[in-house]
Amino acid sequence: MVETFEEISPADFFYRNRELAGFTSPTRAIFSSVRELVENALDASDLHGVPSEVYIRLSEEDSGVGEGEVYVLRVEDNGSGVPARHIPSAFGQVLFGSKYKLKQARGTFGLGGTMAILYGQITTHKPVYVASSTGTSRTYEYKLMIDIQRNRPIVLDRKSHVNKTRWRGTVVEFSLEGDYLRAMPKILEYLKQTAVVTPYANITFVDPKGRLYRFSRVTTEMPPPPEETFPHPYGVDVETIQRFAKIADCKNMLDFMRKHFHRVSEKIAHEFLEYAGISEKKNPGKLRPQEVVRLVRKMKEFENFLPPRARCLSPLGEELLKAGILKELKPDFIAVSQRKPSAYSGHPFIVETAIAYGGGIPKEGDVLVYRFANRIPLLYDEASDVAVKVIKSMNWRTYKVSSEMPIAILVHLCSTKVPYKTVGKEFIADRPEVKKEILNGVREVARRLRRFLTRREHVERERRRLSVFSKYLPKIAEFSTGLAGEEEAPNIEALLRSVRKFEEGD
């Protein structure tokens, strides 16, 4: 039997295995398409530092071949725009993009947008329309298809117009097969949760029935744009060192350490090189393989590197978290917490947690868990997610929580690199460092919930005691008054007040 060997392009790989990227079924495909384009739109406006305006429209298309659910998806944003020369590759090629940096962004794989377009192409055989401008004097329009086998864009049409209004942003429109009716609840949930954690965004969605959903911004204050970082020495491998050594303009190791790694000052570089037994004057381009290996080893061992700085991260903040949850769930009690920055494999991250109780939270079923990563809601494959695993592993009786209580828990992880387990960004791998921070964060808010529940128990007990007093005391007073032959019963109000430990409404 003869084996045939072949090379396939990355576009072909993800075409053949599109379920890896979240394009499993017509339902998931339409959800994933909306999601990927919305995330790109929000990243683009974050980058440009303007409050986001995202317009999404899904309309039914007369497919011309009888029954079948074909939709046109259009997404417009007011973000940074894509330079004309990059438009074909950015939308017609996988593994091409601006997301291959160490910075906090919704997109991480440089894959999702093109996958959505690719899915549209293989189900409808139609080109994608892209219009964009970076706010210069011209706007550009493209009609593209993807050569999947070669992973290259095919430009069918290209136009350029004068941009009088200096419009900036991107419009993407393409046709795809999908099952909107089934995807609808997830799409709406996705947009709702996105709006909660993106309070500076106006998100408008027009669905195939013409229904308009509008999520309006509550602030125009933008988070600082994501900052790019160098790799931290703890997270470096042999390949990283070699790449830097190749492109480095540094003549010696001291400069090399200072210029290419996160949080390495001259002083620390000096200390480290001495510790590693590598000469400061050595030319980084001339490191021998075994020296590179030793350098990496020593970087992992050296204890005096400063921890990754979280300045490049943009967590939600406790106020915003609280506001978002209050708006959505209207609970009786809420506690939020933002953990101190931590790091895994040299990537800084921050965990934020919240717990809410009662009010609008449904009583039936399991604890509600809301999961977010870099400000995007994660709605699928919950069972494998590290946050869900952590929450399940906790002994909730310690916190006076029982299974039938109306509880919601929110976990947000932001990082320059979220450790997703799937290309479809459904759930987060359980890195021990991340797990620990989530556990501590959830514990912290759970303890506050316990205090609230304990206090409420006291209040309840007190109320019952008072109600007994206030029921019998007047009768006793009346009886004793009669017995004593007095005319007027003593004032028992003062007495009742004195046994009241908690004020009403406390």
For position 238 contacting its own copies by CB under 8 A, the verdict is yes
Pick from 31, 71, 91, 109: which binds its own copies (CB under 8 A)?
A: 109
How many residues in the shown chain lie near its own copies by CB under 8 A? 75
For position 222 contacting its own copies by CB under 8 A, the verdict is no
Q: Give the count of beta carbons closer than 10 Å to the beta carbon of residue 153.
A: 22
Written as six digits, the tokens of 263 are: 């949080």
Pick from 131, 423, 434, 439: which binds its own copies (CB under 8 A)?
A: 423
Q: Which of residues 347-376 bind its own copies (CB under 8 A)?
A: none
For position 149 contacting its own copies by CB under 8 A, the verdict is yes
Cβ partners under 8 Å of residue 502, min gap 6: 458, 459, 462, 463
392 vs 457: CA distance, rounded Å = 25
Which CB atom, from 121 or from 338, has the smaller least distance to its own copies? 121
Which CB atom, from 10 or from 359, has the smaller least distance to its own copies? 10
Angle (nearest 5°) at CA 285 between 281 and 288: 90
373 vs 387: CA distance, rounded Å = 11
Q: Give the count of beta carbons closer than 10 Å to the beta carbon of residue 322.
A: 16
For position 429 contacting its own copies by CB under 8 A, the verdict is yes
Cβ-contact 16, 151 below 8 angstroms: no
Phi (first) and psi of residue 190, to 5 degrees: -60, -45
For position 97 contacting its own copies by CB under 8 A, the verdict is yes
Q: Which of residues 15-44 bind its own copies (CB under 8 A)?
A: 15-17, 19-20, 24-25
Q: Which of residues 243-282 bind its own copies (CB under 8 A)?
A: 243
Which CB atom, from 362 or from 432, has the smaller least distance to its own copies? 432
For position 326 contacting its own copies by CB under 8 A, the verdict is no
For position 163 contacting its own copies by CB under 8 A, the verdict is no
Q: Per-residue x/- mask for its own copies, residues 286 to 305, rule CB under 8 A?
A: ---xx-xxx--xx-------
**CA 181 and chain centroid, separation:** 25
Pick from 60, 100, 138, 506: which binds its own copies (CB under 8 A)?
A: 100
* Bridge partners for 174 per DSSP: 73
Q: Interface with its own copies by CB under 8 A: which range of 117-125, 192-200, 333-341, 359-367?
A: 117-125
Pick from 157, 189, 221, 239: which binds its own copies (CB under 8 A)?
A: 239
**Where on the phi/psi map is residue 232: left (φ > 0), alpha (ψ -120 to 50), or beta?**
beta
For position 6 contacting its own copies by CB under 8 A, the verdict is yes
Pick from 51, 135, 225, 307: which binds its own copies (CB under 8 A)?
A: 225
Angle (nearest 5°) at CA 355 between 351 and 361: 135
- How many alpha carbons fall within 13 Å on the CB side of residue 457? 8
Q: Interface with its own copies by CB under 8 A: which range of 47-55, 313-321, 367-375, 394-402?
A: 47-55
Cβ-contact 448, 335 below 8 angstroms: yes
Q: Interface with its own copies by CB under 8 A: which range of 9-17, 188-196, 206-214, 254-262?
A: 9-17
Q: Give the count of beta carbons closer than 10 Å to the beta carbon of residue 266.
A: 11
Q: Which of residues 375-394 bind its own copies (CB under 8 A)?
A: 381, 383-384, 389
Which CB atom, from 148 or from 187, has the smaller least distance to its own copies? 148
Burial 326-342 (b: 16+ CB within 10 A, else e): eebbebebbbbbbbebb
For position 200 contacting its own copies by CB under 8 A, the verdict is no
